Amino acid sequence: MSEKAVNGGAPRCGKVLTLDTMNQNVRRVEYAVRGPMVQRAVEIAEELKTGVKKPFTEVIKANIGDAHAMGQKPITFLRQVLALCAYPALLDNDEFPEDAKKRARCILDGCGGQSIGAYSTSQGIECIRKDVARFIERRDGGVPCHHDDIYLSTGASDAIVTMLKLLVCGEGRERTGIMISIPQYPLYSAALAELGAVEIDYYLDEDKCWSMDVKELRRALHAAREHCRPRALCIINPGNPTGQVQSRECIEDVIRFVKEEKLLLMADEVYQDNVYADGCEFHSFKKVLFEMGPEFSSVVELVSFHSTSKCYMGECGFRGGYMEVVNLDPEVKAQLSKLVSVRLCAPVSGQALMAVVVNPPQPGEPSYATFTKERAAVLANLAEKAKLTEEMFNNVPGFRCNPVQGAMYTFPRITIPQKAIDQAKAEGQAPDQLYCMKLLETTGICLVPGSGFGQREGTYHFRMTILPPTEKLKYVLEKIKEFNRQFLQDYS
Amino acid sequence: MSEKAVNGGAPRCGKVLTLDTMNQNVRRVEYAVRGPMVQRAVEIAEELKTGVKKPFTEVIKANIGDAHAMGQKPITFLRQVLALCAYPALLDNDEFPEDAKKRARCILDGCGGQSIGAYSTSQGIECIRKDVARFIERRDGGVPCHHDDIYLSTGASDAIVTMLKLLVCGEGRERTGIMISIPQYPLYSAALAELGAVEIDYYLDEDKCWSMDVKELRRALHAAREHCRPRALCIINPGNPTGQVQSRECIEDVIRFVKEEKLLLMADEVYQDNVYADGCEFHSFKKVLFEMGPEFSSVVELVSFHSTSKCYMGECGFRGGYMEVVNLDPEVKAQLSKLVSVRLCAPVSGQALMAVVVNPPQPGEPSYATFTKERAAVLANLAEKAKLTEEMFNNVPGFRCNPVQGAMYTFPRITIPQKAIDQAKAEGQAPDQLYCMKLLETTGICLVPGSGFGQREGTYHFRMTILPPTEKLKYVLEKIKEFNRQFLQDYS
């Protein structure tokens, strides 16, 4: 069969759907993590394959937090349970441990016809939601959680967009505004653009390790009230792309702020296991909210998000996730349940994975030792690489790098000479995009320019994941240092 | 830990997000397949569990096309490949056939780090899209298909909503209108409500076995042009909920119509293997389009959808699917690629499942005989049940049932006495909802009222899946007949 492209044979003019006639909100969407830089990286990888000579032999995609793609091995226990669920004949196989079989039987009992090929209820399999609720209670020192407040989702992204969909309405000055941090994870700006919401930017304080400052929140909010109706505040903690872990005090301040200002709080906590720095600890917004007493815990509308894609699992491909809704108006919750039902259900294999994540092997079970060792090794290795990255980058002339307290990324501030800024502007691109593109062409290393996440005017950054294996990460850091020296020299 | 619900403790008045402040488009969404009828069915099942006496012992959910939940066994080969992908240590296990291992290795080679836990490219794993393209070419007698026109998706629903999102824009009389059949699958009306698009209803001809009629299409289109801008025509073939298989002539007529009227064509072909009636055959819109010659095939913008959830697979839980876009403006395609990248990728296990569906065991391979036998058994059984259902329902006084030519549902027309209609109206519900609710309470059988799909004013229907095992299906058909007699008597 020929591989001739079927598209493109028709004259442009006659199309129903063109750039001009399509949804203009979609046209305004930007998503830098998979933007032009990544497209070029894919092209270069193809060129290498076909034998084109380059000053490097492979493309290193440090643009995305994709642990397995970077060589991290799946956790054995998780995959054993998934294999058992997919092919229950294996339940008779002696090579699978009993605790894995127990988890698989439990998941299959929750499935229609004992098959993960059946649709689940739209909110997610009930026994899994119950396990999620127990997991949250343990994590939060006993703060109660009801499985009816849990919605299993297609990764966290799906749940975040669903909540934004519920929130966004109105026109003109009544249009919904949503507060997001700058720098931010571009899912947020992309979803807001698509929904035609007003994006309200608040800046994280780079000089204070990317912490949040309520004064800045207030400034952004009050300015926004002049032209839209702010309704929710989104926070990512641990931070993406910035790697900070917010302090308990800061979280309390934020909760007081949203209560006072009548905002719904969306807490993106997908990196909750990824905390590395001494003295840092993950505090869930839910726990802090409830410890602040009923005047807060009975009032503040909080939605928090989790995922199987990050932490020690790194199982991005399964698209597992959940959200917990707290203090949501019961009528709105009914609307939410209706809305998720239109898409039938989240992928059941992702739900099954989440079931294991929230119900891992316990002491005394056969897989406990291996599981615990594998998990600890992943997290220890990440902690080591976080430290390494910070140290190396702070030795690069012109770089200033906050500690990678958590998550999976570094977001160093870089110096771009005026000559390079001028050239970028003349070419109609952001200066840090020019920097990253030149890095890609010179070294094969793919990063995301800071402009894709937002940054203070006149500052430049990039996001790099710390996920490559230690030796490769060292190579990457060295190459960036070398490139940076040459770049500064070329544009001096 | 207590299971006390965390929600509901706060006073209503203070909420940020209420029925009045939420997105009103979402509020307008309706999705009958999982609506109040199903909620009541779930309640009744709970009541039965707790020992409440009912005139029946189980709830039979005939409301949804969920094959595995109805007892259909997964196809062995599909699940073997999935288990191998999930837990590659099994590649050394002698009990797995070589062809399953070959497929798994091929899929894993297409994954970052050889893991289905890595994100794929947003459009889907390239080697799988290539296999999808070859599958389509074989299906369509050699009409070329390029993998760059394939987008793997989270079930077909996801792809359908994505296309609608691209299409819908404008305000007032410029607002996008989308033509959908009545009766329709309520994903369409729900998505259009959510997007705030204008739904343009065209009626299928019940008297001609739910066929399409271009005169009716034209009537609906021209009436709609008075108040909106129609941009696309959606067709489900084989039909859901109506079970018809459109003839080749009809498909040609539709293609001429969309070309003439400058509409984009969306063909929902997820039931393409589910054709049962003698003389009926599945014709893909793509194949017919290309056989009509370049004056059509180089012009008509066509998007067609497929899924792993239906056909002989019935793997709904994996949320696998794809769409093929034909003649899309390259700039629009770039926008589409950007839009799907925001959600990162479709579940990789669903992609893997699709890989096997489009590349099943071949003659000479070890799994060929078993696979072929299992697939044939599922389809033969469905064909038998389609026939059985039609025959039984046409023997029920007051029912008129078109043949179930394809798909997985029957949509009989039922007679509702005036007294029942009056009562329903007084209670503010649709007469066929009253009928189905009474059936549920009396027999435990859960159907979806025709009003959830749309029907001609003054006619009443319900949708029932033909998926229950033959003996249970017979029981269901008998029970409905019995209930119907009593219902007609009670309301005479």
- Each residue's pLDDT tens digit in chain B (492 positions)? 333 344 333 344 589 899 988 988 888 888 776 678 888 998 999 999 999 999 999 999 998 889 999 999 999 999 999 999 999 999 999 999 999 999 999 999 999 999 999 999 889 999 999 999 999 999 999 999 999 999 999 999 999 999 999 999 999 999 999 999 999 998 999 999 999 999 999 999 999 999 999 999 999 999 999 999 999 999 999 999 999 999 999 999 999 999 999 999 999 999 999 999 899 999 999 999 999 999 999 999 999 999 999 999 999 999 999 999 999 999 999 999 989 988 789 999 999 999 999 999 999 999 999 999 999 999 999 999 999 999 999 999 999 999 999 999 999 999 999 999 999 999 999 999 999 999 999 999 999 999 989 999 999 999 999 999 999 999 999 999 999 999 999 998
**Residue A380, burial from CB neighbour count under 10 angstroms (0-12, 13-18, 19+):** exposed
Do the Cβ atoms of A69 and B262 come within 8 Å?
no
Nearest-angstrom CA–CA distance, B91 and B350: 20
Work out the pLDDT band at A6, boundaries 50, 70, 90: very low
Q: What is the pLDDT of residues B338-374, one digit of tens each?
A: 899 887 899 999 999 999 999 999 999 999 999 999 9
Measured distance CA(A159)–CA(A208) in Å, rounded:
30
Spatial CB neighbours of B293, under 8 Å, sequence gap ≥ 6: none
pLDDT number for residue A11: 40
Most distant pair of Cα atoms in chain B: their distance: 69
Q: Are the beta carbons of B2 and A122 separated by less than 8 Å?
A: no
Nearest chain B residue to A190 by CA: give it: B342
Between strands A176-182 and A60-61, the pairing is: unpaired
Taking CA–CA distances from A156, the nearest residue in chain B reads B343
Identity of the residue in B14, B66, B134 whose CB atom sits nearest the CB atom of A119: B66
Interface test with B, best of A344, A370, A467, A472 (most B CBs within 10 A): A344
Work out the number of other CB atoms within 10 angstroms of the CB of residue B420. Answer: 21
Angle at A123 between CA A120 and CA A126, to 5 degrees: 65
Question: What is the predicted pLDDT for the residue at B35?
Answer: 74
Which positions in chain B touch A66 (Cβ < 8 Å)?
A: 112, 118-119
* Interchain proximity A113–B68, CB inside 8 Å: yes
Comparing CB atoms, the residue among B8, B69, B117 nearest residue A330 is B8
Measure CB to CB from residue B169 to each of A22, A120, A326 and give the nearest one: A22
* Of residues A24, A119, A335, nearest to B27 (C-beta): A335
Q: How far is B208 from chain A (nearest CA, A)?
A: 30
Q: What backbone phi and psi angles, to 5 degrees, belong to B383? A: -60, -40
Contact B318 A347 (CB under 8 A): yes
> What local confidence, expressed as pLDDT, does residue B1 receive?
33
By C-alpha distance, the chain B residue nearest A185 is B342
* DSSP-H helix ranges across B241-358: 248-261, 285-291, 294-297, 330-341, 348-357
Q: Which band of pLDDT confidence, cut at 50, 70 and 90, is reported for residue A460?
A: very high
Query: How many other C-beta atoms lie within 10 A of the C-beta of residue B141?
Result: 10
For A14, the closest chain B residue by CA position comes to B299
Structure tokens at A14: 């006659």
Strand partners, A211: A205
pLDDT at A250 over 80: yes
Partners of A158 on chain B (C-beta within 8 Å) are: 343
Contact between chains at B345 and A317 (C-beta distance less than 8 A): yes
| Residues of chain A contacting residue B92, judged by C-beta atoms under 8 Å apart | none
Query: Identity (one letter) of the amino acid at B24?
Result: Q
Please report, to the nearest 10 degrees, the dihedral formed by the alpha carbons of residues B437, B439, B442, B446 taken in order: -80
Under DSSP, the state recorded for A211 is B
What pLDDT score was predicted for residue A33? 66
Which residues of chain B have a CB within 8 Å of the CB of A169?
Answer: 21-25
Which structure tokens are listed for B446?
């859960």
pLDDT at B13: 57
What's the pLDDT tens digit per position in A392-408?
999 999 999 999 999 99
Structure confidence at residue A114 (pLDDT) = 96
Q: What mean pLDDT is predicted for residues A90-107?
A: 96
| H-helix or E-strand spanning residue B460 | strand B460-465
Pick the CATH number of A18-70+373-490 from 1.10.3720.10, 3.90.1150.10, 3.90.850.10, 2.40.30.20: 3.90.1150.10
pLDDT reported for residue B199? 96
pLDDT value of position B427: 93
Q: Is A119–B317 a contact, with Cβ atoms under 8 angstroms apart?
A: yes
Binary contact (B316, A119; C-beta < 8 A): yes
If we measure between CA atoms, which residue out of B65, B49, B69, B68 comes closest to residue B57?
B49
Q: How far is CA B107 from CA A44, A445, B104, B128, B312, in A?
A: 23, 26, 5, 7, 22
| Structure tokens, B159 | 């792809």
**A137 vs B contacts (CB less than 8 Å):** 1
CB spacing of A68 vs B190 below 8 angstroms: no
What the block records as the tokens of A367 is 């897989």
Contact list, A121 vs chain B (CB under 8 Å):
42
Give the span between the Cα atoms of A374 and A30, in whole angstroms.
37
Q: Which of A312, A304, A277 is nearest to A406 (CA)?
A: A277
The per-residue pLDDT for range A174-222, each reduced to its tens digit, is: 999 999 999 999 899 999 999 999 999 999 999 999 999 999 999 999 9
Q: Do A118 and B316 touch (CB under 8 A)?
A: yes
Q: Which residues of B touch A22 (CB under 8 A)?
A: 166-167, 169, 332, 335
Token couple for A281: 């600890």
What is the residue-wise DSSP string for A151-208? Answer: EEEEHHHHHHHHHHHHH----GGGSEEEEEEES--THHHHHHHHHTPEEEEEE-BGGG
Residue A4 pLDDT > 60: no
The yes-or-no verdict on residue A5 having pLDDT over 70 is no
Taking CA–CA distances from B348, the nearest residue in chain A reads: A317
Distance from CA of A263 to the nearest CA of B (A): 6
* A chain contacts of residue B297, beta-carbon cutoff 8 Å: 9
Work out the average pLDDT over A291-296.
96
What is the topology classification, in CATH, of domain B22-70+373-490?
Aspartate Aminotransferase, domain 1 (3.90.1150)
Grouping H, G, I as helix, E, B as strand and the rest as coil, residue A288 is helix
Whether B434 and B426 have beta carbons less than 8 Å apart is answered as: no
Instruction: Provide the pLDDT for residue A7.
Output: 39
pLDDT-based confidence at A244, cuts 50/70/90?
very high
pLDDT of residue B9: 37
Say how many C-beta atoms besides its own lie within 10 A of residue A371's C-beta: 23
The separation between CA B390 and the C-alpha centre of its own chain, rounded to angstroms, equals 21
Q: What is the CA radius of gyration of chain B?
A: 23
Q: Where in chain B is the domain with CATH 3.90.1150.10?
A: 22-70+373-490
**Which sign does the torsion angle of CA A435, A441, A446, A452 carry?**
positive
Question: Using the beta-carbon criterion (under 8 Å), do A66 and B317 form an inter-chain contact?
Answer: no
Note whether A319 contacts B154, CB cutoff 8 Å: yes
Q: Give the integer Cα–Cα distance in Å for B161 and B169.
A: 14
B169/A21 Cβ within 8 A: yes
Helical packing angle, B214-224 and B248-261, nearest 10°: 20
Nearest CA in chain B to A168: B23
Q: Which of B344, B446, B467 to mutate: most A Cβ within 10 Å?
A: B344
CATH architecture for the domain at A104-357: 3-Layer(aba) Sandwich (3.40)
C-alpha to C-alpha distances, A186 to A180, A450, B74, B339, nearest whole angstrom: 10, 11, 39, 12
Identify all chain A residues contacting B189, using CB atoms and an 8 Å cutoff: none
Q: What is the pLDDT of residue A269?
A: 97
Please provide the average confidence, as pLDDT, over all residues in chain A: 93
Tokens for B269? 């072909």
Question: Of A409, A416, A415, which Cα lies nearest the Cα of A468?
Answer: A409
Contact B167 A316 (CB under 8 A): no
Pick from A312, A413, A372, A319: nearest CA to A73: A312
Interface test with A, best of B40, B87, B135 (most A CBs within 10 A): B87
**How far is residue B331's CA from residue A27's CA, in Å, rounded to a whole number?**
10
Chain A positions in Cβ-Cβ contact with residue B3 (cut-off 8 Å): 133, 144, 146-147
In Å, the largest CA–CA distance within chain A is 69
Q: CA A52, A53, A56, A60: dihedral to nearest 10 degrees?
A: -10
Q: Which residues of B touch A100 (CB under 8 A)?
A: none
d(CA B281, CA B274): 10
Q: Which residues of B touch A70 (CB under 8 A)?
A: 112-113
CB contact under 8 A, A9 and B327: yes
Q: CA-CA distance, B164 to B179, in Å (whole number)?
A: 11
Quote the tokens at residue A438.
């030149």
pLDDT of residue A491: 93
Closest CA in chain B for residue A154 = B347
Helix ranges (H only) for B427-469 are 431-443
Task: Tell whether omega for the bond before B241 is within 30 degrees of 0, i.e. cis.
Answer: yes
Residue B83 with chain A: CB contacts under 8 Å: 83-84, 86-87, 90
Name the residue facing B69 among A24, A112, A301 (closest C-beta): A112
> Distance between CA A7 and CA A15 in Å, rounded?
12
Pairing between strand A176-182 and A198-203? Answer: parallel
Point out the residue among A10, A27, A31 whose CB comes nearest to the CB of B298.
Answer: A10
Select from B83, B231, B333 the Cβ nearest to the Cβ of A83. B83
3-state secondary structure of B337: helix
Q: List, by residue range, all CATH 3.40.640.10 domains of chain A.
A: 104-357
**Is A113 in Cβ contact with B70 (below 8 Å)?**
yes
Own/partner contacts of A109-114, CB < 8 Å, gap of 24 or more, are A111/A348, A111/B68, A111/B69, A111/B317, A112/B66, A112/B68, A112/B69, A112/B70, A113/B68, A113/B69, A113/B70, A113/B71, A113/B72, A114/A88
Written as six digits, the tokens of A11 are 């004259």
Confidence of residue A27 (pLDDT cuts 50, 70, 90): confident
User: Which member of B17, B71, B339 has the closest CB to residue A166?
Assistant: B17
Listed in order, the ranges of chain A carrying CATH 3.90.1150.10 are: 18-70+373-490
Type of residue numbered B351: Q
State ipTM: 0.91
For residues B93 and B115, give the distance between their C-alpha atoms in angstroms, rounded to a whole number: 18
CB proximity list for A58: less than 8 A, separation 6 or greater: A45, A48, A444
